[in-house]
Amino acid sequence: MEDQSPSGYKRNDGLARVWRAMGYSLAGLAAAFRGEAAFRQEVLACALLAPLALWLGESGPERALLLASLLLVLIVELFNSAIEAAVDRISEARHPLSKRAKDIGSAAVLVAILAAAATWLLVLAG
């Protein structure tokens, strides 16, 4: 008999769950790359800046800060894209709350970019 959760559904744990989660994650990255120009631009910026981060950082923590600030921009852009997709799924009609959600997501990306720029400035100005 298969392991079942208290709700009666088949349990989804162990390596099979990790494997499925990895597939969903890769599908999400691919969807963002295909469908979001901003994400593609930020991936390109990361691809160009990551080697510089490794070269310009003078210590492990500095390199980690420089790289993490780049990855933070990608993470926030993924959340922003998810918010936009969910809002558009609900309705493409103009609504003040839809605009607010999209504007706040966009603001989060801007804050992440500013944080990355400040991190690079502070680390490199050392």
**Which residues does the annotation mark as catalytic?**
77
Residue with tokens 């493409």: 92
Cα angle 36, 47, 70 (rounded to 5 degrees) comes to: 80
